[in-house]
């Protein structure tokens, strides 16, 4: 029941503190056509990051960085993007 500006500010602060401790999280793996293993990956971002055009590049960099690290660590080639805000 707060004004939208206060809610967005509060959400932005929570997102900032979450990103101090973790930048992403992964969910369970899944099978694709009994041939490939995929993984759902999620970056820690707030709705403001998706609304504000100045933050688009940061979100994209986080996604690419996470995909690269998952490929190097686990060899995963197929990804589903999840989101903490859904």
Q: Using CA atoms, how far apart are residues 3 and 73, in angstroms rounded to an integer?
A: 43
Tens digits of pLDDT across the chain (86 residues) = 778 888 888 888 888 888 888 777 777 777 888 888 888 878 888 878 888 899 889 888 988 888 898 889 888 888 877 665 54
Torsions phi, psi of 29, nearest 5?
A: -85, 160
pTM over 0.75: no
Q: Using CA atoms, how far apart are residues 22 and 61, in angstroms rounded to an integer?
A: 15
Here the tokens at position 76 are: 């995963």
């Amino acid at each position: 029941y707060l004004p939208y500006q206060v809610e967005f500010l509060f959400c932005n602060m929570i997102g900032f503190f979450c990103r101090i401790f973790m930048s992403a999280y992964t969910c369970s793996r899944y099978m694709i056509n009994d041939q490939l293993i995929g993984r759902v990956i999620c970056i820690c971002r707030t709705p403001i990051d998706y609304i504000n055009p100045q933050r688009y590049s940061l979100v994209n960099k986080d996604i690419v960085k996470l995909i690269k690290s998952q490929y190097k660590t686990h060899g995963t080639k197929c990804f589903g993007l999840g989101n903490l805000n859904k």
